[in-house]
Amino acid sequence: MTPRSQQQLSVLVMSTLAFTVCFAVWMMFAVIGIPIKAQLGLNETQFGILIATPVLTGSLIRLPLGMWTDRFGGRIVFFALMLSTVGPIWLMEFATEFWHFLTIGLFVGLAGGSFSVGIAYCARWYEKERQGMAMGVFGAGNSGAAVTKLVAPSIVLAYGWTMVPQVYAAAMLVTAILFWFFTYDDPSHKVPAHVTVADQLKALKDPVVWKYCQYYSIVFGGYVALALWMTKYYVTEYGFDLKTAALFAAAFSLPGGVLRAVGGWMSDKWGAHRVTWWVLWVSWICLFIMSYPQTEFTVKTVTGPVTYNLHLSAEMFTALLFTVGVAFAFGKASVFKYISDEYPHNIGVISGIVGLIGGLGGFFLPIMFGALVDLTGIRSSAFMLMYGVVWVSLIWMYTTEVRKLDLIKKPAVAADTME
């Protein structure tokens, strides 16, 4: 019999690999959407809908997948999910009309639901004091977005965009087979049979769960939205070609995925609250700077008018984007540390709810990005919107957590003063 420690490692490694492939597929339109946009003559709003469509189903399916993971176990659910996406991915190359891409994209998007399966599956294999690390390592599969940025452009340039779905379909099939042969089941990880669906859904009435949904809508939903949007942003804002733009965009996607494991370790060490608080502040400051549009203004001086130009160079913008990616990586891990600490017996359901709402953020934000550009003509309006969402999270966190901690500490401070 395989030792428990080896089973833990094998489950974590294979689940992370599978999630990386699933996430790469989920983010496929971030690259192939650009030649498709040109082929179909889409406007910015239509492009936003195109790249966000897979995110919709990948988000909506997360809650039922989380419930099924609690009920039937993560191994069989994860395996079946991967197999169900192979056919739709392959069919993508045959699409010719806008509605073809949207319809097939809905089915391809099922791959994004793998998160709520894998996060619960991996967490249950580890002790509480190591769950943050385990979930962080699994969550590093978000780097699949960077894999798409690095691999897909080369395929597009060499063989055309239709080759990308063929390669991804084969990769998904091989990964599913490897996952099945190198992972394990543990019946003790399943919820008891007497727990009904209604019992599982009671979590929807918990306001604390909705607060974590808000946090996750920015650190994950914002990550997904920007991972989909940034390649095109570099093309239109800085005039880069597709391959160069995707490489620069990977400066956000790669740390935003890989460093999630570090965020898990930090959350184990310093707690989910502290890590999340600083994540939101760092993101808020960076997004404020990034939201300022390229500006030219003239000042009348005693010697005559002087014109000034304010803009972010590609290098400075990428440095800020990289910082946001790092912050989001830590935040994605810290939010799920909250969940494993407070809801250890129904991680699948809670992660499904939080993942669903976070994923819907990744669906609506790209559409809103495109609509704002069409409406205002300002490309940096996307970051203005993100800045506002982070501000909401900061206010909510202050009123429900930070202020409460301050009130708890005040009596102790007053007592010390009296002594």
Across the chain, what does the average pLDDT equal? 87
> Is 191 within the bounds of a domain?
no
CATH number of the domain where residue 91 is located = 1.20.1250.20
The pLDDT assigned to 187 comes to 76
In contact, 168 and 28? CB cutoff 8 Å: yes
What share of the chain in percent tops pLDDT 70? 93
- End-to-end, the C-alpha distance of the chain in Å comes to 62
Helices (H), 343-380: 347-376
What does the alpha-carbon distance between residue 356 and residue 361 come to, in Å, rounded to a whole number? 9
* Secondary structure (DSSP) of 47-72: HHHHHHHHHHHHHHTHHHHHHHHHHH
Distance separating alpha carbons of residues 398 and 28, to the nearest angstrom: 37
> Which pLDDT score is estimated for 204?
75
Q: CA dist 357 to 60, 140, 206, 288, Å? A: 8, 20, 14, 24
pLDDT band at 2 (very low <50, low <70, confident <90, very high): low
**Bridge partners (DSSP) listed for residue 299:** 306
* Residue 29 belongs to some domain of the structure: yes
Longest Cα separation, the chain: 86
Tokens of 405: 């901690």
**Is residue 264 in a domain?**
yes
- Which pLDDT does position 410 carry in this prediction? 54
Q: What is the SS3 string spanning 5-31?
A: HHHHHHHHHHHHHHHHHHHHHHCCHHH
Residue 192 has phi, psi (to 5 degrees) of -60, 150
Q: Would you say 149 and 231 are in contact if contact means Cβ atoms under 8 Å apart?
A: yes
* Residue 418, pLDDT above cutoff 50: no
Given this model, what pLDDT does residue 375 score? 92
Residue 230 lies in a domain: yes
CB 123 within 8 A of CB 134: yes
Q: Is the pLDDT of residue 419 over 80?
A: no
Q: Which residue has the tokens 């304010």?
A: 310
Amino acid in the structure at residue 228: L
Residue 191 pLDDT class (50, 70, 90 cuts): low
For residue 245, the tally of other CB atoms under 10 A from its CB is: 25
Confidence of residue 413 (pLDDT cuts 50, 70, 90): very low
Q: Give yes or no for a contact between 279 and 264, defined as CB atoms under 8 angstroms apart.
A: no
Q: Which of 39-43, 60-64, 207-211 ranks highest by mean pLDDT?
A: 39-43
Decide if 194 is inside a domain: no
In this prediction, residue 400 carries a pLDDT of: 84
Instruction: List Cα–Cα distances, 364 to 218, 358, 401, in angstroms.
Output: 12, 10, 27
Averaged pLDDT, 55-83: 89
CA dihedral (373, 379, 381, 382) positive or negative: positive
Distance CA 202, CA 57 (A): 23
Q: Is residue 46 part of a domain?
A: yes
pLDDT tens-digit profile of 133-168? 888 888 888 888 888 988 999 999 999 999 999 999
Instruction: Report CA-CA distances (Å) from 388 to 53, 319, 367.
Output: 23, 21, 16
Is the C-alpha dihedral spanning 39, 375, 233, 284 positive or negative? negative
Residue 193 lies in a domain: no
pTM of the full predicted structure? 0.75
Q: Which residue has the higher pLDDT, 40 or 308?
A: 40
Residues 216-229 have pLDDT tens digits of 999 988 988 998 89
Contacts of residue 88, defined as CB under 8 A and 6 or more positions apart, other chains included, come to 104, 107, 108, 110
Query: Is residue 192 domain-resident?
Result: no
Domain assignment of residue 24, given as a range: 4-186+199-418
Between residues 122 and 343, the one the model is more confident about: 122
Q: Residue 404: pLDDT band by 50, 70, 90 thresholds?
A: low
| Domains held by the chain: number | 1
